[in-house]
């Protein structure tokens, strides 16, 4: 039989691109390192083969649906009998069986293409299940359900009900895996046929097991009640079929630091820091100290802060003492500031007047401008009344005064405008 035509350039180009990118390249072509993360779980080749077969079967359904389905039934039946097992249909299915980005599918298809062709033309009648014939019998990538490993051994609990139906058999259906049962919560044992730690058998028969939770601190029990305990979890002690909390702080089981104290909790304990006033303590607060820290003194049953400022501890000039928790510090008195280790008096700048930053020339110009404004105001007031002659006289005086001032102020005004 002639070999099938190629399915286009896409698969070879994809494999060529993958090979090219895998080769070492110049520094500027190397991608930036990605943040470290857990590597993705690699699928067993059996899963790839199963997906390939599923896609192949969908392609068979699609090619029948797209090419036939309405019209001349007799003609369709005649054509369908020829198209059903034709090379044309096989090529159409294989062209779309793998997505462009699924490299594993393309690789597996390249390896198994001749087997698929052989099944298509010669084995369909005797082996209608392509998955069983290709993935299990021919490529030996998969095992029947309930089995695992190179020789397809039965999972614990048997192939019909692996792990008793209460867990997952590692590698089931593949030629890999350990066959170890990953049991559901509450179940344990090699084949998940027992109740796990903290659970008891609520119901059991030849094919069924129900495990229910024990009372909180019970590790093993005969029932759900507090008095049904047979074994206790860590941090608890069995007493008359009940689990009682162990006070680790009252025994040598607790291990806390020198500046910590122990606090008992249910099934365990905590170590907490002593108060700042304590050097070693038996509990919380300054009243449970074994010994007082430096800067503290015992007053009654408590370690209290010593006020060092009651004595002369700041010898520097213009210094004063400020008490702190367990200590003190020397600061400059009010009105003084620290400069090179010495307290010096702060210089308070004098407040500046409104005209303090103006030059003499600017003041002269300002005075002349003010004088002119006053003259104009008087002339305006006079013009509003009946004293017409008075207004004319005042206007004349203003004009003469302005002329006289302009003679003397040209130089001053010019210097003011130019900023000299």
Identify the pLDDT of residue 386: 47
**Three-class DSSP labels, the chain:** CCCCCCCCCHHHHHHHHHHHHHCCCCHHHCCCCCCCCCCCCCCCHHHHHHHHHHHHHHHHHHHHHHHCCCCCHHHHHHHHHHHCCCHHHHHHHHHCCCCCCCHHHHHHHHHHHHHHHHHHHHHCCCCCCHHHHHHHHHCCCECCCCEECCCCEECCCCCCCHHHHCEEECCCCECCCCCCEEECCCEECCCCCEECCCEEEEEECCCCEEEEECCCCEEEECCCCHHHEEEECCCEEEECCEEEECCHHHCCCCCCCCCEEEEEECCEEEEEECCCCECCECCCCHHHECCECCCEEEECCEEEECCHHHCCCCCCCCEEEEEECCEEEEEECCCEEEECCEEEECCCCCCCCCCCCCCHHHHHHHHHHHHHHHHHHHHHHHHHCCCHHHHHHHHHHHHHHHHHHHHHHHHHHHHHHHCC
Residues of the chain with pLDDT under 70: 1-42, 66-81, 349-359, 361-366, 368-370, 372-374, 376-420
pLDDT of residue 117: 92
Residue 9: what pLDDT?
A: 39
Q: What would the pLDDT profile of 244-294 be if each residue is shown by its tens digit?
A: 999 999 887 889 999 999 999 999 999 999 999 999 999 999 999 999 999
What's the pLDDT score for residue 373? 61
Pick the CATH number of 309-345 from 3.20.20, 2.40.50, 2.30.29, 2.10.25: 2.10.25
Q: Would you state the pLDDT for residue 43?
A: 75
Question: pTM for this structure?
Answer: 0.53
Per-residue pLDDT tens for 303-329? 999 998 988 888 888 899 999 988 999
**pLDDT score of 142:** 95
Domain assignments of the chain as residue spans, ordered by start: 46-60+83-182, 214-245, 260-306, 309-345
Position 251 scores a pLDDT of: 83
pLDDT (0 to 100) of residue 15: 44
């Amino acid at each position: 039989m002639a070999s099938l035509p190629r399915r286009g350039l896409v698969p070879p180009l994809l494999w060529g691109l993958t090979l090219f990118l895998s080769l070492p390249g110049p520094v500027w072509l190397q991608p930036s390192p990605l943040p470290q993360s857990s590597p993705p779980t690699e699928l067993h080749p059996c899963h790839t083969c199963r997906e390939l077969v599923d896609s192949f079967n969908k392609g068979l359904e699609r090619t029948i649906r797209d090419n036939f389905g309405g019209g001349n039934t007799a003609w369709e039946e005649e054509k369908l009998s020829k198209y059903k097992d034709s090379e044309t249909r096989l090529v159409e299915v294989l062209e779309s069986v793998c997505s462009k980005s699924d490299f594993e599918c393309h690789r597996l298809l390249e390896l198994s293409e001749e087997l698929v062709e052989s099944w298509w033309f010669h084995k369909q009648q005797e082996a209608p299940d392509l998955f069983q014939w290709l993935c299990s019998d021919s490529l030996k990538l998969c095992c029947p359900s309930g089995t695992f490993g190179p020789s397809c051994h039965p999972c614990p609990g048997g192939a019909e009900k692996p792990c008793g139906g209460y867990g997952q058999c590692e590698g089931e259906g593949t030629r890999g895996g350990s066959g170890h049962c990953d049991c559901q919560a509450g179940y344990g044992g090699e084949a998940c046929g027992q109740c796990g730690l903290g659970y008891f058998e609520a119901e059991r028969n030849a094919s069924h097991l129900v495990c229910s939770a024990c009372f909180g601190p019970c590790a093993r029990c005969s029932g759900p009640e507090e008095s049904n305990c047979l074994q206790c979890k860590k941090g608890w002690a069995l007493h008359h079929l009940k689990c009682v909390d162990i006070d680790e702080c009252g025994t040598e089981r607790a291990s806390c630091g020198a500046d910590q104290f122990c606090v008992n909790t249910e099934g365990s304990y905590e170590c907490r820091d002593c108060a700042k006033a304590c050097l070693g303590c038996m509990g919380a607060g300054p009243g449970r100290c074994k010994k007082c820290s430096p800067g503290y003194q015992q007053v009654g049953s408590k370690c209290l802060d010593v006020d060092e400022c009651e004595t002369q501890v700041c010898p520097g000039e213009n210094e004063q003492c400020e008490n702190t928790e367990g200590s003190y510090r020397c600061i400059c008195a009010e009105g003084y500031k620290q400069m090179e280790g010495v307290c010096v008096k702060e210089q308070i700048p004098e407040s500046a007047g409104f005209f303090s930053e103006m030059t003499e020339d600017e003041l002269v110009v300002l005075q002349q401008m003010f004088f002119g404004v006053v003259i104009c105001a008087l002339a305006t007031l006079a013009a509003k009344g009946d004293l017409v002659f008075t207004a004319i006289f005042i206007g004349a005086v203003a004009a003469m005064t302005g002329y006289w001032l302009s003679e003397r102020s040209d130089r001053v005004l010019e210097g003011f405008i130019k900023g000299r």
